[in-house]
Structure 1
């Protein structure tokens, strides 16, 4: 449990929260006093995350939510409001990411549509359902988890396009929601050590060498940034994209290493 209780009395809904960044964010916000609805398509894993939070004396419930289905999203939002009395923070973390085909022309419509639907349209569905309640809370905030893929080329056409779309949606929704008292921001992580990288320790080591800060991210790094943007500490911040990427986008480490090696040759 963290010492600061910035979210005492808050009701929070997090999508894709059974593991990884979503689970770390649930732990962080609950540890700061929030009642957290841990939602995921994998209810069994979501319940494990919620149970671990409760064991620490904090408040969390698990609920099934498929961001690809409007009725599922609306049910999750309604449950959060009924269970916690309000919905103050929405964290859009669920996504879809399918490996690219070897050639762009071999990509299927189904793959493209699925990744965009889960990553971008899913966030839209959640924001649409949550917004009236966030307005009513008087302190509402939406934080979406984007990616450096939405800002620069790191592969994954559909996933990257969806994450770029989230950056734009963050700006336009921030403009719409600001007069209603709701802030909308986005965190753009670099490489983060999650279950998506299980069994790929060598790849993570190679990736770490490209980060100016010398390591890949941990889920807790992203959770801390989400907590900041969701809190009143960020009360005058909306429509922004916060890169949490170990300096990846700011410094071309690979280029600098190549130049240094050539100079030493």
Structure 2
């Protein structure tokens, strides 16, 4: 019996990277996955790839900054799969810092917080009644080590720290209703955001106790654990999946600067 046989799953920003790897992982374990992304074509490619491998997946265009779009995605998942058991909040926005903090732009701050934190809030709010109804509901938020330690990116880091706080408060609210809420805090993961920067990634590898940067599949494996019944007594947790970087001192600030 596959762990997610019969499950309905919705994943945001699943058109590439961590979201796409998670969609493949959960579908490979029997889930019916709604691959959502602001880029519908990218979502469609991931869903098609899952179907080619014998899995069940559909795509849906969703901007987590738009409440109506989020509610439409959740409704489509429930209508298509007959239920919703797992929500994976993966969407985020991350803009580079200004050289001086006092030069930071209000719009950049607002965008990073809106997509990264408020977007997850919108998705959880829309999904929660259906997760309660499933009797085995789980929310897995994709946070970041930036929400734990200083790795730069003021707005993004504040949003990820806020997402960890929301994870705890929502876990307390939703636990008695049968829904678990947890967060994964990845370190550096080799995604499209690092395209063309292989030399920098190779240097960063040296800063990780386990000797490499992460791969999307590393995070997908952690999502699969937290979303499954294997973690049925785990809620409100922040799980670093970071090659050990938050456990030890590192030279990240030096490299970043």
Q: TM-score range by the shorter chain?
A: over 0.9
Q: Deviations over 1:85-106 (max 9, x none)?
A: 0000000000000111111111
Task: Count residues in correspondence.
Answer: 252
Report the CA distance between 1:243 and its aligned residue.
0.3
**TM norm structure 1:** 0.94
Matching of residue 156 in structure 1 with residue 144 in structure 2: no
What SS does structure 1 have at the residue aligned with 2:158? helix
Which residue is equivalent to 2:215? 218
Match of 2:139 among 125, 138, 142: 142
What SS does structure 2 have at the residue aligned with 1:173? helix
What SS does structure 1 have at the residue aligned with 2:213? coil
Q: Whole-Å Cα distance in 1 between the matches of residues 246 and 80 of structure 2?
A: 41
Match of 2:129 among 104, 121, 132: 132
Report the CA distance between 1:5 and its aligned residue.
1.2
Q: Deviations over 1:119-169 (max 9, x none)?
A: 000000000000000000000000000000000000000000000000000
What SS does structure 2 have at the residue aligned with 1:152? coil
Which residue is equivalent to 1:191? 188
Report the CA distance between 1:254 and its aligned residue.
4.1
Q: Whole-Å Cα distance in 2 between the matches of residues 104 and 231 of structure 1?
A: 41
**In terms of Rg, which structure is larger?**
1
Q: Deviations over 1:205-263 (max 9, x none)?
A: 111100000000000000000000000000000000000000001122449xxxxxxxx
The equivalences for 1:1-265 within 5 A come to: 5-254=2-251
Q: Whole-Å Cα distance in 2 between the matches of residues 175 and 254 of structure 1?
A: 36
Unaligned runs of 5+ in 1: 256-265
Q: Whole-Å Cα distance in 1 between the matches of residues 87 and 250 of structure 2?
A: 35
Unaligned runs of 5+ in 2: 253-257
Report the CA distance between 1:56 and its aligned residue.
0.3
Report the CA distance between 1:71 and its aligned residue.
0.2
Q: Whole-Å Cα distance in 2 between the matches of residues 209 and 253 of structure 1?
A: 10
Comparing 72-81 with 245-254, greater Cα deviation is found at 245-254
RMSD (Å), alpha carbons: 0.9
Q: Whole-Å Cα distance in 1 between the matches of residues 97 and 50 of structure 2?
A: 36
Which residue is equivalent to 2:255? none
Q: Whole-Å Cα distance in 2 between the matches of residues 197 and 253 of structure 1?
A: 20
Aligned structure 1 segments of 4 or more residues deviating by more than 3 angstroms: none
**TM norm structure 2:** 0.97
